[in-house]
Amino acid sequence: RKSVIRITTGSQALDELLGGGIETLQITEAFGEFRSGKTQIAHTLCVSTQLPVSMHGGNGKVAYIDTEGTFRPDRIVPIAERFGMDASAVLDNIIYARAYTYEHQYNLLLALAAKMSEEPFRLLIVDSVIALFRVDFSGRGELAERQQKLAQMLSRLTKIAEEFNVAVYMTNQVIADPGGGMFISDPKKPAGGHVLAHAATVRLMLRKGKGEQRVCKIFDAPNLPESEAVFQITPGGVAD
Ligand code: ATP
Ligand code: MG
């Protein structure tokens, strides 16, 4: 039986909210408005995953599927330095792929799974998991098919997490929630409906605070306390 590894986000407050960090064998979803920090968390995890377990890392490689073209290798350098790691070695251990269609995204997952059976990976990032689906199935009558294909992709992510003891970190978009009611000041909800809600083990709702501050709340977990974590986005990545 594989044992769970918890990987630090770079912020102690956020780690505590998560019960120690993002977990292998699970899917962690982050959603929130633009600039809320979803991609910056991904960049920080690219580095922290490579730390030894004794330093709250995962001692493993990272696979990064980018659907929006927002991965920045340059951004990895100061984050690696902040953690006292060699930036070029860290970059060498990030297997990066840009996906252009939902089918391409799925095929990349299959190829990465093959790689994971040969090398020790501890993190798979999909940023964003849903963007290409929203583009490729944008017609009104296409929602049912979109959800079916999305479910297929998510079940593949679950298999990868469990088979290779990998943490999956996926980002999601927010959409207007017409059912949110007139008493909710900012009626937004995560995209992807029930299919996405059921696939994610942990759902993180991010929002902007003052300046570089960000606020994270666990979404839709009735068994967890309604607590929030405040963190910062710094040149060295996510921090307290
Ligand atoms: P989107 O929905 O557009 O993808 P996102 O949630 O992925 O948004 P991020 O790209 O993670 O948002 O966050 C962008 C924010 O991170 C910037 O607005 C800035 O506040 C902060 N940021 C980015 N780079 C740095 C840096 N080098 N130093 C400090 N803060 C930074
Ligand atoms: Mg982003």
Locate all alpha helices (DSSP H) within 24-101, ordered by sequence.
38-48, 73-82, 87-92
pLDDT at 52: 98
Taking CA 171 as the corner, what is the angle to CA 207 and CA 145, rounded to the nearest 5 degrees?
125
pLDDT at 181: 62
The answer to whether 175 and 191 are in contact (CB under 8 A) is: yes
Locate all alpha helices (DSSP H) within the chain, ordered by sequence.
12-17, 38-48, 73-82, 87-92, 102-116, 131-136, 143-164, 193-199
pLDDT at 182: 61
* Percentage of the residues of the chain whose pLDDT score is greater than 90: 90
Cα 185 to ligand 2 centre (Å) = 24
- Ligand number, closest to the Cα atom of 127: 2
Other Cβ atoms less than 10 A from the Cβ of 35: the count is 12
pLDDT at 180: 63
Mutating to test ligand 1, I would choose from 11, 29, 33, 40 the residue with most ligand atoms within 8 A of its C-beta, which is 40
Cα 204 to ligand 2 centre (Å) = 14
Mean pLDDT, consecutive 10-residue stretches, the chain (240 aa), reads: 94 96 97 97 98 98 98 98 98 98 98 97 98 94 96 98 98 85 71 96 95 93 80 98
pLDDT at 216: 97
Cα 205 to ligand 2 centre (Å) = 14
Q: Is the pTM of this model over 0.90?
A: yes
For ligand 1, what atom is nearest to the CA of residue 235? Answer: 28
pLDDT at 115: 98
Burial (Cβ within 10 Å: 0-12, 13-18, ≥19) of residue 46:
buried
Question: Residues near ligand 1 with C-beta < 6 Å?
Answer: 32, 34-40, 70, 212, 233-235
Cα 55 to ligand 1 centre (Å) = 25
What is the ipTM metric for this complex?
Answer: 0.99
* Rounded (to 5) percent helix, strand, coil in the chain: 40, 25, 35
Q: Residue with the nearest Cα to atom 4 of ligand 1?
A: 34
Q: Using one digit for the tens of pLDDT, what is the confidence trace for 73-127?
A: 999 999 999 999 999 999 999 999 999 999 999 999 999 999 999 999 999 999 9
